[in-house]
Amino acid sequence: MMSYRVHVRVMPREGLLDPQGQAVEHALSALGFDDAGAVRIGRAIELDVAAESRDEAETRARQMCDKLLANPVTEDYLLQVEDR
Amino acid sequence: MTRVAVVRFPGSNCDFDALRAAENVGAEAYFVWHGDANLNGADVVILPGGFSYGDYLRAGAIARFSPIMQAVQRHAAAGGPVLGICNGFQILCEAHLLPGALMRNAGLSFVSKPVDVIVERTDTAFTCDYEPNSRLRIPVAHGEGRYVAEPETLRMLESEGQVVLRYVAATERSPFQPNPNGATNHIAGICNPDGNVVGIMPHPERAAERLLGMTGGSGFFTSLVPAYEDSSNSGVKT
Protein backbone atom coordinates (compact mmCIF):
# COMPACT_ATOMS: atom_id res chain seq x y z
CA MET A 1 0.00 0.00 0.00
CA MET A 2 1.36 3.39 -1.00
CA SER A 3 0.59 6.76 0.48
CA TYR A 4 -0.38 9.65 -1.75
CA ARG A 5 -0.69 13.31 -0.93
CA VAL A 6 -3.95 14.73 -2.25
CA HIS A 7 -4.47 18.44 -2.75
CA VAL A 8 -8.11 19.49 -3.06
CA ARG A 9 -9.13 22.93 -4.23
CA VAL A 10 -12.78 23.78 -3.55
CA MET A 11 -14.18 26.89 -5.22
CA PRO A 12 -17.61 28.50 -5.20
CA ARG A 13 -19.41 27.59 -8.41
CA GLU A 14 -18.95 30.02 -11.28
CA GLY A 15 -21.82 32.49 -11.43
CA LEU A 16 -22.76 32.24 -7.75
CA LEU A 17 -22.31 35.40 -5.73
CA ASP A 18 -19.04 35.26 -3.77
CA PRO A 19 -19.30 38.12 -1.25
CA GLN A 20 -15.92 37.26 0.30
CA GLY A 21 -14.24 37.59 -3.07
CA GLN A 22 -15.99 40.90 -3.68
CA ALA A 23 -14.93 42.26 -0.30
CA VAL A 24 -11.30 41.30 -0.89
CA GLU A 25 -11.43 42.82 -4.35
CA HIS A 26 -12.65 46.11 -2.84
CA ALA A 27 -9.87 45.95 -0.25
CA LEU A 28 -7.25 45.38 -2.93
CA SER A 29 -8.63 48.32 -4.88
CA ALA A 30 -8.46 50.48 -1.75
CA LEU A 31 -4.79 49.54 -1.44
CA GLY A 32 -4.18 50.75 -4.97
CA PHE A 33 -4.29 47.39 -6.69
CA ASP A 34 -6.78 48.51 -9.31
CA ASP A 35 -5.40 45.85 -11.62
CA ALA A 36 -6.97 43.05 -9.53
CA GLY A 37 -10.35 41.75 -10.62
CA ALA A 38 -12.72 38.78 -10.46
CA VAL A 39 -11.44 37.76 -7.02
CA ARG A 40 -12.96 34.55 -5.73
CA ILE A 41 -12.29 32.77 -2.48
CA GLY A 42 -12.40 29.04 -1.95
CA ARG A 43 -10.83 26.46 0.32
CA ALA A 44 -7.72 24.28 0.09
CA ILE A 45 -7.65 20.84 1.74
CA GLU A 46 -4.67 18.49 1.89
CA LEU A 47 -4.76 14.89 2.99
CA ASP A 48 -2.87 11.61 2.75
CA VAL A 49 -4.66 8.72 1.08
CA ALA A 50 -3.42 5.13 1.39
CA ALA A 51 -4.00 3.31 -1.90
CA GLU A 52 -2.51 0.70 -4.22
CA SER A 53 -2.12 3.17 -7.05
CA ARG A 54 -2.38 6.82 -7.90
CA ASP A 55 -5.62 6.14 -9.81
CA GLU A 56 -7.12 4.45 -6.78
CA ALA A 57 -6.07 7.35 -4.56
CA GLU A 58 -7.72 9.79 -6.93
CA THR A 59 -10.92 7.74 -7.09
CA ARG A 60 -11.11 7.61 -3.30
CA ALA A 61 -10.40 11.33 -2.99
CA ARG A 62 -13.12 12.06 -5.53
CA GLN A 63 -15.60 10.08 -3.43
CA MET A 64 -14.55 12.06 -0.36
CA CYS A 65 -15.16 15.31 -2.22
CA ASP A 66 -18.56 14.21 -3.50
CA LYS A 67 -19.68 13.05 -0.05
CA LEU A 68 -18.23 15.68 2.25
CA LEU A 69 -15.39 17.96 1.19
CA ALA A 70 -17.37 19.93 -1.40
CA ASN A 71 -21.06 20.80 -1.60
CA PRO A 72 -22.28 19.64 -5.02
CA VAL A 73 -24.95 22.38 -5.06
CA THR A 74 -22.64 25.34 -4.66
CA GLU A 75 -19.03 24.29 -5.16
CA ASP A 76 -16.67 22.73 -7.69
CA TYR A 77 -13.41 21.04 -6.83
CA LEU A 78 -10.07 20.21 -8.41
CA LEU A 79 -7.85 17.31 -7.33
CA GLN A 80 -4.13 16.89 -7.56
CA VAL A 81 -2.47 13.64 -6.45
CA GLU A 82 1.25 13.42 -5.61
CA ASP A 83 3.49 10.53 -4.63
CA ARG A 84 4.71 10.90 -1.08
CA MET B 1 -49.46 13.90 24.05
CA THR B 2 -47.24 15.03 21.19
CA ARG B 3 -43.65 13.88 21.76
CA VAL B 4 -41.11 16.37 20.46
CA ALA B 5 -37.43 15.39 20.26
CA VAL B 6 -34.97 18.30 20.15
CA VAL B 7 -31.64 17.07 18.77
CA ARG B 8 -28.54 18.49 20.45
CA PHE B 9 -25.30 18.58 18.51
CA PRO B 10 -22.02 19.81 19.95
CA GLY B 11 -22.47 23.55 19.37
CA SER B 12 -26.26 23.68 19.34
CA ASN B 13 -27.31 26.80 21.23
CA CYS B 14 -31.04 27.24 20.65
CA ASP B 15 -31.88 23.83 22.08
CA PHE B 16 -33.36 25.04 25.37
CA ASP B 17 -35.39 27.71 23.60
CA ALA B 18 -36.91 25.14 21.24
CA LEU B 19 -37.58 22.76 24.13
CA ARG B 20 -39.33 25.45 26.12
CA ALA B 21 -41.40 26.64 23.17
CA ALA B 22 -42.62 23.07 22.65
CA GLU B 23 -43.30 22.57 26.37
CA ASN B 24 -45.24 25.83 26.53
CA VAL B 25 -47.88 24.47 24.17
CA GLY B 26 -48.22 21.29 26.16
CA ALA B 27 -46.00 18.98 24.13
CA GLU B 28 -43.82 16.41 25.84
CA ALA B 29 -40.43 17.73 24.76
CA TYR B 30 -37.07 16.14 25.46
CA PHE B 31 -33.49 16.25 24.23
CA VAL B 32 -31.73 13.58 22.22
CA TRP B 33 -27.95 13.63 21.82
CA HIS B 34 -26.28 13.62 18.40
CA GLY B 35 -24.58 10.33 19.29
CA ASP B 36 -27.85 8.57 20.11
CA ALA B 37 -29.15 5.93 17.73
CA ASN B 38 -32.86 6.54 18.11
CA LEU B 39 -35.43 9.24 18.74
CA ASN B 40 -37.20 7.55 21.67
CA GLY B 41 -40.60 7.46 20.03
CA ALA B 42 -40.71 11.05 18.84
CA ASP B 43 -43.74 12.26 16.92
CA VAL B 44 -41.88 15.40 15.89
CA VAL B 45 -38.15 16.18 15.52
CA ILE B 46 -36.61 19.64 15.84
CA LEU B 47 -33.04 20.37 14.77
CA PRO B 48 -32.29 23.60 16.64
CA GLY B 49 -30.05 26.50 15.75
CA GLY B 50 -26.44 26.98 16.71
CA PHE B 51 -23.05 26.15 15.33
CA SER B 52 -22.90 22.37 15.26
CA TYR B 53 -19.31 21.14 15.11
CA GLY B 54 -18.16 24.75 14.99
CA ASP B 55 -19.50 25.08 11.44
CA TYR B 56 -16.25 23.40 10.36
CA LEU B 57 -15.95 22.83 6.61
CA ARG B 58 -19.48 24.13 5.94
CA ALA B 59 -22.38 24.85 8.28
CA GLY B 60 -24.16 21.55 8.89
CA ALA B 61 -21.73 19.47 6.83
CA ILE B 62 -20.36 17.42 9.72
CA ALA B 63 -23.55 17.22 11.79
CA ARG B 64 -25.13 15.44 8.87
CA PHE B 65 -23.01 12.37 9.66
CA SER B 66 -24.00 12.19 13.33
CA PRO B 67 -25.47 8.80 14.35
CA ILE B 68 -28.80 10.44 15.23
CA MET B 69 -29.20 11.69 11.66
CA GLN B 70 -29.85 8.13 10.45
CA ALA B 71 -32.82 8.02 12.81
CA VAL B 72 -33.91 11.46 11.57
CA GLN B 73 -33.68 10.20 7.98
CA ARG B 74 -35.87 7.20 8.85
CA HIS B 75 -38.37 9.41 10.70
CA ALA B 76 -38.58 11.77 7.71
CA ALA B 77 -38.88 8.91 5.20
CA ALA B 78 -41.81 7.54 7.19
CA GLY B 79 -43.55 10.91 6.88
CA GLY B 80 -42.69 12.14 10.38
CA PRO B 81 -42.49 15.90 10.84
CA VAL B 82 -38.98 17.40 11.02
CA LEU B 83 -38.26 21.09 11.56
CA GLY B 84 -34.78 22.51 11.04
CA ILE B 85 -34.27 26.00 12.43
CA CYS B 86 -31.28 28.02 11.15
CA ASN B 87 -28.35 25.63 11.66
CA GLY B 88 -30.96 22.87 11.62
CA PHE B 89 -32.03 24.06 8.13
CA GLN B 90 -28.38 23.99 7.04
CA ILE B 91 -28.08 20.42 8.35
CA LEU B 92 -31.25 19.32 6.51
CA CYS B 93 -29.83 20.70 3.25
CA GLU B 94 -26.47 19.03 3.79
CA ALA B 95 -28.30 15.78 4.58
CA HIS B 96 -30.26 16.12 1.29
CA LEU B 97 -33.54 16.02 3.20
CA LEU B 98 -34.15 19.43 1.61
CA PRO B 99 -32.81 20.69 -1.73
CA GLY B 100 -30.37 23.56 -2.18
CA ALA B 101 -27.83 25.08 0.18
CA LEU B 102 -27.27 28.05 2.48
CA MET B 103 -24.31 30.26 1.66
CA ARG B 104 -22.54 33.18 3.28
CA ASN B 105 -24.83 36.22 3.63
CA ALA B 106 -24.52 38.55 0.67
CA GLY B 107 -23.55 41.39 3.01
CA LEU B 108 -20.94 39.18 4.73
CA SER B 109 -22.06 40.30 8.19
CA PHE B 110 -23.68 38.06 10.74
CA VAL B 111 -27.30 39.30 10.79
CA SER B 112 -29.19 39.25 14.10
CA LYS B 113 -32.48 41.16 14.05
CA PRO B 114 -36.22 40.77 13.53
CA VAL B 115 -37.47 40.29 9.98
CA ASP B 116 -40.93 40.16 8.47
CA VAL B 117 -41.90 36.99 6.66
CA ILE B 118 -45.00 35.67 4.93
CA VAL B 119 -46.24 32.15 5.63
CA GLU B 120 -46.90 30.82 2.14
CA ARG B 121 -47.61 27.24 3.01
CA THR B 122 -50.02 26.37 5.79
CA ASP B 123 -50.61 22.65 5.36
CA THR B 124 -47.41 21.49 7.08
CA ALA B 125 -47.28 20.09 10.60
CA PHE B 126 -45.52 23.27 11.71
CA THR B 127 -47.60 25.94 9.98
CA CYS B 128 -51.18 24.62 10.02
CA ASP B 129 -52.18 27.07 12.77
CA TYR B 130 -51.36 30.05 10.56
CA GLU B 131 -53.79 31.64 8.17
CA PRO B 132 -52.51 31.53 4.57
CA ASN B 133 -50.27 34.52 3.81
CA SER B 134 -49.97 35.49 7.47
CA ARG B 135 -47.29 38.03 8.05
CA LEU B 136 -44.97 37.30 10.97
CA ARG B 137 -42.20 39.17 12.71
CA ILE B 138 -39.51 36.71 13.81
CA PRO B 139 -35.79 37.17 14.50
CA VAL B 140 -33.03 35.84 12.30
CA ALA B 141 -29.49 35.25 13.58
CA HIS B 142 -27.11 33.79 11.05
CA GLY B 143 -24.00 34.35 8.98
CA GLU B 144 -24.87 31.82 6.31
CA GLY B 145 -28.51 32.12 5.38
CA ARG B 146 -28.45 32.95 1.69
CA TYR B 147 -30.59 30.24 0.15
CA VAL B 148 -29.39 29.05 -3.26
CA ALA B 149 -30.44 26.17 -5.48
CA GLU B 150 -30.15 25.02 -9.08
CA PRO B 151 -32.57 26.86 -11.40
CA GLU B 152 -34.68 23.73 -11.97
CA THR B 153 -34.88 23.16 -8.20
CA LEU B 154 -36.07 26.74 -7.70
CA ARG B 155 -38.70 26.31 -10.40
CA MET B 156 -39.92 23.15 -8.68
CA LEU B 157 -40.01 24.81 -5.25
CA GLU B 158 -42.07 27.68 -6.62
CA SER B 159 -44.42 25.64 -8.80
CA GLU B 160 -45.04 22.95 -6.17
CA GLY B 161 -45.61 25.43 -3.35
CA GLN B 162 -42.60 24.30 -1.35
CA VAL B 163 -41.70 27.81 -0.20
CA VAL B 164 -42.93 27.90 3.40
CA LEU B 165 -41.62 31.32 4.47
CA ARG B 166 -40.58 34.27 2.31
CA TYR B 167 -39.03 37.53 3.42
CA VAL B 168 -41.50 40.37 2.96
CA ALA B 169 -40.69 42.78 0.17
CA ALA B 170 -39.74 46.28 1.30
CA THR B 171 -42.84 48.29 2.07
CA GLU B 172 -43.72 51.13 4.33
CA ARG B 173 -45.22 48.63 6.72
CA SER B 174 -41.91 46.89 7.31
CA PRO B 175 -39.08 48.89 8.84
CA PHE B 176 -36.68 46.02 8.26
CA GLN B 177 -34.41 45.33 5.34
CA PRO B 178 -36.60 42.98 3.32
CA ASN B 179 -34.11 40.22 2.59
CA PRO B 180 -31.40 40.01 5.26
CA ASN B 181 -29.02 37.69 3.44
CA GLY B 182 -29.55 37.90 -0.33
CA ALA B 183 -31.54 34.66 -0.46
CA THR B 184 -32.72 33.68 -3.93
CA ASN B 185 -36.39 34.62 -4.50
CA HIS B 186 -36.39 36.00 -0.91
CA ILE B 187 -36.76 32.43 0.35
CA ALA B 188 -36.64 32.16 4.15
CA GLY B 189 -37.89 28.59 4.49
CA ILE B 190 -38.85 25.59 2.37
CA CYS B 191 -40.29 22.10 2.72
CA ASN B 192 -39.86 18.79 0.93
CA PRO B 193 -42.48 17.64 -1.62
CA ASP B 194 -44.52 15.86 1.07
CA GLY B 195 -44.38 18.89 3.36
CA ASN B 196 -43.23 16.91 6.41
CA VAL B 197 -39.64 18.21 6.39
CA VAL B 198 -39.43 21.97 6.89
CA GLY B 199 -36.31 24.15 7.09
CA ILE B 200 -36.40 27.84 8.01
CA MET B 201 -33.74 30.44 8.74
CA PRO B 202 -35.82 32.60 11.17
CA HIS B 203 -36.08 31.50 14.80
CA PRO B 204 -39.75 31.01 15.80
CA GLU B 205 -38.66 29.74 19.24
CA ARG B 206 -37.27 33.22 19.92
CA ALA B 207 -40.67 34.78 19.21
CA ALA B 208 -42.96 32.32 20.90
CA GLU B 209 -44.06 34.01 24.13
CA ARG B 210 -44.82 37.51 25.36
CA LEU B 211 -41.81 37.57 27.65
CA LEU B 212 -39.63 37.49 24.53
CA GLY B 213 -41.31 40.56 23.10
CA MET B 214 -42.64 38.79 20.01
CA THR B 215 -45.13 35.98 19.62
CA GLY B 216 -45.22 35.61 15.83
CA GLY B 217 -43.35 32.31 15.95
CA SER B 218 -45.64 30.57 18.40
CA GLY B 219 -47.73 29.08 15.60
CA PHE B 220 -44.85 26.76 14.68
CA PHE B 221 -45.36 25.09 18.04
CA THR B 222 -49.11 25.38 18.55
CA SER B 223 -49.47 23.73 15.13
CA LEU B 224 -47.92 20.60 16.65
CA VAL B 225 -50.60 20.24 19.30
CA PRO B 226 -53.98 19.68 17.63
CA ALA B 227 -56.18 20.89 20.48
CA TYR B 228 -54.04 23.83 21.48
CA GLU B 229 -55.96 27.07 21.89
CA ASP B 230 -54.57 30.29 23.21
CA SER B 231 -56.01 33.58 22.13
CA SER B 232 -52.89 35.46 23.25
CA ASN B 233 -50.87 34.28 20.25
CA SER B 234 -51.05 36.98 17.65
CA GLY B 235 -51.27 35.95 14.03
CA VAL B 236 -52.38 32.49 15.00
CA LYS B 237 -55.77 30.94 14.47
CA THR B 238 -57.60 30.08 17.62
Span B185-198, average pLDDT: 97
Task: Spell out the domain ranges in chain B.
Answer: 3-222
Closest chain A residue to B107, measured at CA: A19
Of B58, B104, B106, the CB nearest to A71: B58
Q: Which of A71, A75, A77 to mutate to test the interface with B (most CBs of B within 10 A)?
A: A71
Q: Which residues of A touch B145 (CB under 8 A)?
A: none
Instruction: Judge: B106–A73 Cβ closer than 8 Å, yes or no.
Output: no
Is A46's pLDDT higher than 80? yes
Q: Which residues of A touch B100 (CB under 8 A)?
A: 73
Of A19, A69, A74, the CB nearest to B106: A19
Question: What is the average pLDDT value for chain B, to the nearest integer?
Answer: 92
Inter-residue long-range contacts of B58-62, CB under 8 Å, 24+ positions, other chains counted:
B58/A71, B58/B90, B58/B94, B59/B87, B59/B90, B59/B94, B59/B102, B59/B144, B60/B87, B60/B90, B60/B91, B60/B92, B60/B93, B60/B94, B60/B95, B60/B102, B61/A68, B61/A71, B61/B94
Is B232's pLDDT higher than 50? no
pLDDT of residue B104: 94
pLDDT of residue B226: 78
pLDDT confidence bin for B175, thresholds 50/70/90:
low
Question: Under DSSP, is residue B55 helix (H, G, I), strand (E, B) or coil?
Answer: helix
Distance of residue B52 Cα from the nearest chain A Cα, in angstroms: 15
Is B174's pLDDT higher than 90? no
Question: Which CATH number is B3-222 given?
Answer: 3.40.50.880
Give the tens place of pLDDT for each residue, B14-39. 999 999 999 999 999 999 999 999 99
Question: Is some CB atom of chain B closer than 8 A to the CB atom of A44?
Answer: no
Span B164-179, average pLDDT: 76
Q: Which of A64, A74, A75, A76 to mutate to test the interface with B (most CBs of B within 10 A)?
A: A74
Q: Under 8 Å CB-to-CB from B156, ≥6 apart: which residues?
A: B99, B162
pLDDT confidence bin for B237, thresholds 50/70/90:
very low
Give the tens place of pLDDT for each residue, B97-115. 999 999 999 998 999 999 9
Q: Which of B56, B58, B92 to mutate to test the interface with A (most CBs of A within 10 A)?
A: B58
Span B60-74, average pLDDT: 95
Question: Is some CB atom of chain A closer than 8 A to the CB atom of B59?
Answer: no
Is A83's pLDDT higher than 50? yes
pLDDT confidence bin for B170, thresholds 50/70/90:
low
The one-character DSSP state at B28 is: E
pLDDT of residue B122: 97
Is B164's pLDDT higher than 60? yes
pLDDT of residue B178: 81
- Domains observed in chain A: 2-14+34-83 (3.30.1280.10)
Instruction: Judge: A71–B94 Cβ closer than 8 Å, yes or no.
Output: yes
pLDDT of residue B229: 54
Instruction: Please state the ipTM of this predicted complex.
Output: 0.85
Is B227's pLDDT higher than 70? no
pLDDT of residue B215: 95
pLDDT of residue B235: 47
Identify whether the C-beta of residue B27 lies closer than 8 Å to the C-beta of residue B2.
yes
Question: Is some CB atom of chain A closer than 8 A to the CB atom of B149?
Answer: yes
pLDDT confidence bin for B177, thresholds 50/70/90:
low
Span B151-168, average pLDDT: 97
Q: Which residues of B touch A74 (CB under 8 A)?
A: 101, 103, 148
CB pairs under 8 A between A and B: 34
